[in-house]
Amino acid sequence: MMNLPGEKHLLLRHHDHSHGHGHGHGHDHGREDVFETTAGGGRRIKVVRRVLDANDVTAARNRELFAAGNVFVLNMMSSPGSGKTTTLQKTLARLMPDVRAAVIVGDICTTNDADRLAASGAPVVQINTDQFGGDCHLAAHVIEKALDGIDLEAIDLLIVENIGNLVCPAEFDIGEDKRVVVLSVTEGEDKPAKYPLMFRVCDATLLNKTDLLPYLDYDLAEVEKTIAGIKPGMPVFKISAKTEDGFDAWIDWLRDQVRDKVGK
Amino acid sequence: MHEMGIALEVIRIAGQSIPPELEGAQIAKINLKVGKLAAVVADSLRFCFEVASKGTPAEGARLVIEEIPVQLRCRGCGRTWTAQEPVFVCQDCRSTEVKMISGRELDIDTIELVDGENDDEPSG
C-alpha cells in the first residue's frame, strides 16, 4: 500500500517534523518544487489537502455569521428513532420565550419533524437532503443555504437537528459551537463503542427514554463507563422526553452554554 | 456512508492539483491518507470513485489508500500509543487528558500523473 521499494521518496510528508520548513508552503498548493519524477517515470505532485477542506471553509464562514449575529449554535445528532424531535420539542418549550430559538431540521425526506417543531413557535427551516443527493448528514453549505430563511439578529440559539445517523454527521463541521448526541436506552448498550467518533466529537450525551428502563435489561452503568472511556468528563444527561424526567440538568447545561456565548 | 461526496471532492481536488503547464494530463494514481476513525469504507470509495471519475482527468486512476492508525498521546505522562479500541484514557497514569495525534485524516497526499511512455509500474 505504501511506496514501492525503489520508488523515489522525495516529498515532504505531512507529519514529518524533521523538516523545519515542512509547513512553510502555506495552506495552498504552491507550484514550485511540487513535482518529482517517480521511478516508474511518472510525475508525482504533492497535494497534501484535506478532502473535506471545502466543508471546513464554509463552516468557518457560518461560524463568522453566527458570531456576528450573536447566536449560539447547537448541532444535535443521534441515531434514527432516539427521540431527538420530541426532546427538541420539550427543550424549546422550556427555553422559549426568554431564549429566542430557531431550528434547522434535516431529514432525508418528509416535513413531519418540522411540522411538530413549528408548534413551539420557533422559526423552523426544514432541509430535505434528497435535494442535495439524499445525503446522510448536513454539510456546512446546506446550513449556509438554510440561513437565508433565518433572521440571526432575532435569535439567541439555533439548534440544528441533524440527520439521524451516528456515523457521517460526526465528520462534518457546520460552524456550530457545541454538539450533543441523543442516544436512547432502547438501543444497544454498545452503541457508543460502535460509533466512537460521534461520542468523541460531542460535548454532551442525552440518554433518552429512561422511562422505559423498568421494562428493559439495560446496563446503564456499562454505557456510562463506555462513554467515559471515549470522552472522559463529558456530561451524560439521563432524560425522558416523554415525562421530562432529568430535563432540569440538561436545560441548565444548555442555558449555561448559550449564556457563555450570547450573554443572556 | 458519504463516500460519493468524498469521491467527488477527491476528483475535484486532484484535478485542481495538476499544474497548469501540464494541463490535459491524466492522473495515474491518487495517494490518500485515511484515518481509522474517519468512517470511510475503502471499497465504497473505490466504487464511487470509479463511477464519478468518468470523463475527468482522474478516470482510470488508482486510489492508493494508506490507513492511518489512531495514535493517542497522554498530556499527563507523555505516553504515546496506538489505540486498538475506543478508550481515550491513559493506561499508565489513568489521565483522561488524551490527545488524538492521528486517526481522523482524510487527506490527499500526492497524485501521480500518467507519463504517456511508461506507466506500467506494478500495482500494490
Say yes or no: B107 contacts chain A, CB-CB below 8 A.
yes
What is the tens place of the pLDDT at every residue in B18-68? 999 888 999 999 999 999 998 899 999 999 999 999 999 999 999 999 999
Which residues 43-62 of B are in CB contact (within 8 Å) with A? none
Of A47, A136, A162, which to mutate for an interface test with B (greatest number of B Cβ within 10 Å)?
A: A47
The ipTM value here is 0.79
Residues of chain A found within 8 Å of residue B5, distances taken between Cβ atoms: 133, 135, 139
pLDDT of residue B31: 97
Question: Greater confidence, B1 or A106?
Answer: A106
CB A84 within 8 A of CB A78: yes
CB B58 within 8 A of CB B30: yes
Of B8, B64, B105, B109, which to mutate for an interface test with A (greatest number of A Cβ within 10 Å)?
A: B109
What is the tens place of the pLDDT at every residue in A51-90? 988 899 999 999 999 999 999 999 999 999 999 999 999 9
What is the tens place of the pLDDT at every residue in B57-109? 999 999 999 999 999 999 999 999 999 988 999 989 999 899 999 999 999 99
Say yes or no: B6 contacts chain A, CB-CB below 8 A.
yes
pLDDT under 70 in chain A at which residues?
Answer: 1-35, 39-41, 108-109, 129-134
Residues of chain B found within 8 Å of residue A192, distances taken between Cβ atoms: 86
Q: Do strands B98-102 and B71-74 pair parallel, antiparallel, or not at all (unpaired)?
A: antiparallel
Residues of chain B found within 8 Å of residue A1, distances taken between Cβ atoms: 64-67, 124
pLDDT of residue A68: 96
Beta-carbon separation of A47 and B109 below 8 A: yes
For residue B115, what are the CA distances in angstroms to A42, B11, B25, B27?
5, 19, 8, 9
DSSP A153-215: GG-SEEEEEEEE-SSGGGG---S-SEEEEEEETTS-TTHHHHSHHHHHH-SEEEEE-GGGGGG
Instruction: Locate A126 and state its grid cell.
Output: 426544514
Instruction: Locate A3 and state its grid cell.
Output: 511506496
Beta-carbon separation of B86 and A200 below 8 A: yes
Beta-carbon separation of A230 and B121 below 8 A: no
In chain A the domains, ranked by start, together with CATH numbers, are 10-16+53-262 (3.40.50.300)
Q: How far is B50 from chain A (nearest CA, A)?
A: 17
